[in-house]
Amino acid sequence: MTFDVFPLFGTNSGNVLLLGNSENTTPNSGIQADISSYRDQARDLDEVERNRFFTERAIDNILNRPGRSATLYMGKFLNWFNVNPNLATTDEQHWLQIFVLAASYAMLIGLLLLRLWYTRKWPLSDTEALSLLLYLAAAAAYAIFFTRIRFRVPFDLLLVLPVSSAIRLAVAEIAAKRSTPP
C-alpha cells in the first residue's frame, strides 16, 4: 500500500476509464469490456501505479483513435437513455423487468417531450432548464467512462420537475378548452 501519494479520483478511476475507452469497448459493454491484456501488463504494479498505467492506456486509446473515440463517446452518451440493462448474469434479467423499465421511462420521456412542446407557449422556468441541463450533463460526464441504467436512474429524478409541469399545463389547457363556450 502506498501512503505518500494522494490519488485525486481514487485508484479505480484508471480502470473505469480504460473499461470505457479500450479498443474492445462498445457503447454498451461497460465492465464487460475485455481489458485483460492491460491487467496482465499491470500485474506487478502497486495500486497507484496500476491506476496511472490504466489511465495512460485509456488516454492513449482516445488520442490515437480520435474518430473511433468520438463515435464511441456518442454511442455511450446515447446508451445513457437505454432501457435494456444487458446484465452480465442473464438469469437476473427478466423480460418483465425490461418491459416495466421501458414503459416507465417511455412515459417519463413522453411527458418531457410534451413539456418541451409547451415551451412555445410557456417557456421553461430556470429550475426546469437547470434540471434538464444537469440531466444531460450527467449523460455527457458518464459517457467519458461508461454508461449504465443503474447510473442513470438516480438522475431520472431531475425530470420530475419538467414532467410535473407538463402534466399541470396539459390539465390546465384541457380545462380551459372545456370551460370555453363553443
24 and 72 within one domain: yes
Check the CA dihedral 40-44-49-50 and report its sign: positive
Q: What is the pLDDT of residue 180?
A: 74
Instruction: Report mean pLDDT in 10-residue bins for the chain, 182 residues.
Output: 58 91 94 94 93 96 97 96 69 76 92 92 94 97 92 93 91 86 69
Q: What is the pLDDT of residue 129?
A: 96
Contact 164, 134 (CB under 8 A): no
Burial 17-52 (b: 16+ CB within 10 A, else e): bbbbbbeebebbbbeebebeebeeebeeeeebebbb
88 and 107 within one domain: yes
Choose the final residue of a domain: 79, 94, 121. 79
180 and 92 within one domain: yes
Q: What is the pTM of this model?
A: 0.83
Place of cell 396539459: 170
Cα separations in angstroms, 93 against 76, 136, 147:
21, 27, 18
How many domains are there within the chain? 2
101 and 132 within one domain: yes
* Rounded distance between C-alpha atoms, residue 28 and residue 123, angstroms: 35
Question: Domain residues for 27?
Answer: 1-79
Q: What is the pLDDT of residue 1?
A: 47
Choose the final residue of a domain: 48, 79, 110. 79
Cα separations in angstroms, 66 against 61, 62, 110:
8, 6, 34
- C-alpha cell, 97: 423487468
Q: What is the pLDDT of residue 97?
A: 80
